[in-house]
Structure formats: C-alpha cells, structure tokens
Structure 1
Amino acid sequence: MFDHVKFGVSDYEASKAFFLQALAPLGIAAVGEGVPSYGIELCQAGSEASLCLHLSHDKPAPLHLAFSAASREQVDAFYRAALAAGGRDNGPPGLRPHYHAGYYAAFVIGPDGHNIEAVFHERGAA
C-alpha cells in the first residue's frame, strides 16, 4: 500500500543508530541519506517500500511501527538488537493469540517513544 513513510525524530543521530541496529536482523538497511533535515531512507532488500527518518524540531507523537519478519528467529534477533541499541522492552518475543493463533511478535520503545514491533505471521497455526 505505501511507497514510503517519513516521520520526524528529535535526535537524528540517536534515532538513525537505533533503527539501523534494531532493523538489521530484518534485512533493513540504509539506501540513501541527506542532511538531517532531509533524513535517511531505510529499505528491506528486494522491496521498493521505505521508511524515512528526518530531524524534527518538535517532539513527534509516538507511532506504532510494525515490521514484517520472515521467521520467529528474526523476531528474536530484532528484539535483542533493539535492546542492545538502547530500546526499552515493551513486550518480549512470543505468541500473541489475541491477534491470531500464529502472531509471533516482539515490541520495544525507541528513542522518541515509538512502539517498534517485529512480527511473524505463522500461517496455519492452530
């Protein structure tokens, strides 16, 4: 549905470092960067969709950003990397059956208070 989503961050360098480290296990990396007011573009290999961060002088409202994972192991690796990058736990890796039986996800709070999630949809789970 989206081509790209761009949002402001209050500490560009901290947010850039956090997202690069936290999303690396999901195969997401920088594909372009300009001055902080323009920002950085992050993409998953083989995808045209991107997430763009830029410096904002206003504290942005918290977002919930959910990223697709290819496996439970990727969700687990995201969670470890996000915590190592300074994220705060907001729900360790595990099944979330209240969403659906195969919803395996982990949640962390990023530098600006954004709720960052990695989710694997295990199809056919009972």
Structure 2
Amino acid sequence: MATLDHLGITVDDVPHASAQFDPVLSALGYVRAHNAPEHAYWRQEGEPELLLYPAREEGDGPHRHGRVGWQHLAFSVDSREEVDRLHRVALDAGWSAVREPKEYPRFTERYYASFVEDDNGIRLEFMHNPQGWD
C-alpha cells in the first residue's frame, strides 16, 4: 500500500514563505525540522512532511488559482472553532482570506471551512466535517 510521504511546495522566497507557513503549521501541530535559505520543512508524527523549495526561475509566481497544477491543500480539524482559530492564525501571519469560515452545504450539511492564500498563491483550506462524506 502506498502512502503520501511528503509534499514539496515551490515558492518565490523560502525565508518569506517560511515566515507565513510557520505559524499556521505550528498551530496545526507540525514542528519545523529544517530552515535554510534553500529549503524549509515541517514534520508531524504520522503525517506527510511539508517542504518549501525555491523557484528555479525568477518571476514565474505567484501561482494563479484555477490554472493547471496546485489547487489547494485541506486540513481536517476537530471543530468549527478550530477552523475559526486557524483562519485567524493565518491572517495574522500575512495570509489573505479567500473565503471566510462558513458552511458548505453543497459538500455536506455539516461541512464548515475557510480558505486562505499566501503571497505565492498557495491556497490552504481548514475544514471540519464531523461524520465525513454523506
């Protein structure tokens, strides 16, 4: 059986992106395992590592949502309050609100989520769906 081991994300400036990612990933329980100008990564027991790498070409960012490639990365959390808290943590770290926390009945009647985006156009979702998919 295959499992997801790590996710590498390309950014324009690793130190700047690390400053935006670190508060969010720390709030999610990840621990920064490495931080250098050329790459940074975070670990959490039993979860895939998240790594930041520099772009190979200048001026090709930020990523534009809806183009081929990255869509978003969703983190499932234990409560609506946790969605709200993580949304605030991200905004305080310089992320932009794409969608404020709200219900998404088109997914399930219990689905509650928010979406944020960093300066590189990387989009994260914080979601709570207590009993999974209908």
Indicate the TM-score class for this superposition, using the shorter chain for normalisation.
0.7 to 0.9
**Structure 2: 5+ residue stretches without partners:** 65-69
Who wins on radius of gyration, i.e. which is larger?
A: 2
**Structure 1: 5+ residue stretches without partners:** none
Match of 1:80 in 2: 88
TM-score (norm 2): 0.79
User: What code does the residue aligned with 1:100 have?
Assistant: T
In 1, Cα distance between equivalents of 2:118 and 2:103:
21
- Give the drift of 1:113: 0.8
**Which consecutive aligned stretches of 4+ in structure 1 deviate over 4 angstroms post-superposition?**
none
Match of 1:25 in 2: 27
Percent identity between the two aligned chains: 32
In 1, Cα distance between equivalents of 2:133 and 2:35:
43
TM-score (norm 1): 0.84
In 2, Cα distance between equivalents of 1:11 and 1:125:
37
8 Å Cα contact 1:10/1:112 also seen in 2: yes
8 Å Cα contact 1:90/1:109 also seen in 2: yes
- Give the drift of 1:80: 0.2
Match of 1:51 in 2: 50
1:117 to 115, 120, 125: 125
- Give the drift of 1:36: 2.8
In 2, Cα distance between equivalents of 1:51 and 1:106:
20
8 Å Cα contact 2:9/2:52 also seen in 1: yes
User: What code does the residue aligned with 1:65 have?
Assistant: L
8 Å Cα contact 1:26/1:74 also seen in 2: no
Root-mean-square deviation (Å): 2.2
Number of aligned positions between the proteins: 123
